[in-house]
Chains A and B, each alone.
Chain A
Amino acid sequence: MFLALLTSLGSGPAPGEVSPDAILVQSLLQQDVNAFEQLYDRHSRSVYSLVLRILQQAATAEEVVQDIFLQLWRNAASYDSERGPFVPWLLTLARNRALDHLRLKSERQRRREDQTDELPSVAAAPQYERELDERRRIARVRALMGGLQPQQKRAIELAYFEGLSHSEIAERLKEPLGTVKSWIRNGLLRLKEGLQTAS
Chain B
Amino acid sequence: MSNADQFRELIEAYALGALDPQERASLEAHLAAGCADCAKALEEARWLVSQLAYLAPDAEPSELLRGRLLQTVRAEARAARPGKSSASVPFWMWGAVAALLLFTFYTTWETAQLHIDIEKTNAQATSEIAKRHELEEKLALAQREAIILTDRHSVKIPMAAGSKDMPKLEAMWHAKLGIVVAGQNVPMPSGNRTLQLWLIPKTPGGKPIPSMMVRPDADGKFMLLVANPPDNMQSTKALAITEEPPGGSAQPTSKPIWVGAIG
Partner-B contacts on A (CB < 8 A):
1-3, 31-33, 36-37, 40, 44-46, 48-50, 52-53, 61-62, 65-66, 69-70, 73-74, 84-85, 87-89, 91-92, 94-95, 99, 112-114, 117, 120-126, 129, 137-138, 141-142, 145, 156-157, 159-161, 163-167, 169, 176-178, 181, 184-185, 188-189, 191-192, 195
CB of B52 within 8 A of chain A?
A: yes
- Some 6 contacts from A to B, beta carbons below 8 A apart, are A45-B58, A89-B50, A145-B52, A145-B55, A176-B176, A188-B48
Within 8 A of A (CB), among B119-163: 122, 125-126
Q: Contact residue range for chain B?
A: 35 or more
Q: Among A112, A120, A137, which residue has the most Cβ atoms of chain B within 10 A?
A: A112
Q: Are B56 and A191 in contact (CB under 8 A)?
A: no
Given contacts A66-B65, A73-B73, A94-B53, contact A185 B122 (CB under 8 A): no
CB of B60 within 8 A of chain A?
A: yes
- Residue of A49, A87, A88, A188 near B56 (CB, 8 A) is A49
Q: Are A191 and B122 in contact (CB under 8 A)?
A: no
Q: Are B61 and A44 in contact (CB under 8 A)?
A: yes
Given contacts A122-B46, A164-B18, contact A141 B54 (CB under 8 A): yes
Q: Which residues of A lie under 8 Å from residue B164 when comparing CB positions?
A: none
Given contacts A31-B80, A192-B48, contact A138 B54 (CB under 8 A): yes
Q: Are B58 and A49 in contact (CB under 8 A)?
A: yes
Q: Among A62, A156, A165, A184, which residue has the most Cβ atoms of chain B within 10 A?
A: A165
A129 CA to B51 CA in the complex, in Å?
10
Q: Is the interface of A mostly helix, strand, loop or mixed?
A: helix
CB of B49 within 8 A of chain A?
A: yes
Within 8 A of A (CB), among B11-42: 12-13, 16-20, 23, 40
Given A52-B59, A94-B53, 7 more contacts at CB 8 Å? A33-B70, A36-B73, A45-B59, A52-B56, A124-B43, A125-B47, A185-B12
Q: Are A114 and B118 in contact (CB under 8 A)?
A: yes
Q: Are B16 and A167 in contact (CB under 8 A)?
A: no
- Residue of A1, A44, A53, A185 near B66 (CB, 8 A) is A44
Q: Which residues of A lie under 8 Å from residue B74 when comparing CB positions?
A: 33
Given contacts A46-B53, A112-B122, contact A159 B16 (CB under 8 A): yes
Q: Are A165 and B43 in contact (CB under 8 A)?
A: no
A188 CA to B11 CA in the complex, in Å?
11
Q: Are B55 and A185 in contact (CB under 8 A)?
A: no
Partner-A contacts on B (CB < 8 A):
9, 12-13, 16-20, 23, 40, 43-62, 64-66, 68-70, 72-74, 76-77, 80-81, 118, 122, 125-126, 176, 231
Q: Which residues of B lie under 8 Å from residue A87 when comparing CB positions?
A: 50
- Residue of A122, A142, A159 near B18 (CB, 8 A) is A159
Q: Which residues of A lie under 8 Å from residue B70 when comparing CB positions?
A: 33, 36-37, 40
A117 CA to B13 CA in the complex, in Å?
22
Chain B nearest Cβ from A168, distance in angstroms: 9
Q: Are B13 and A185 in contact (CB under 8 A)?
A: yes
Q: Are A112 and B50 in contact (CB under 8 A)?
A: no
- Which B residue's beta carbon lies closest to that of A145? B55
- Which B residue's beta carbon lies closest to that of A73? B73
A62 CA to B67 CA in the complex, in Å?
12
Q: Which residues of B lie under 8 Å from residue A129 when comparing CB positions?
A: 47
Q: Which residues of A lie under 8 Å from residue B122 when comparing CB positions?
A: 112-114
Q: Are A73 and B58 in contact (CB under 8 A)?
A: no
Given contacts A33-B70, A123-B47, contact A160 B54 (CB under 8 A): no
- Which B residue's beta carbon lies closest to that of A4? B58
Chain A nearest Cβ from B3, distance in angstroms: 18
A55 CA to B80 CA in the complex, in Å?
34
Chain A nearest Cβ from B169, distance in angstroms: 26
- Residue of B46, B52, B59, B61 near A156 (CB, 8 A) is B52
- Which A residue's beta carbon lies closest to that of B80? A31
Q: Are B51 and A137 in contact (CB under 8 A)?
A: yes
Q: Among B48, B56, B58, B72, which residue has the most Cβ atoms of chain A within 10 A?
A: B56
Q: Are B43 and A48 in contact (CB under 8 A)?
A: no
A121 CA to B125 CA in the complex, in Å?
21
Chain B nearest Cβ from A56, distance in angstroms: 11
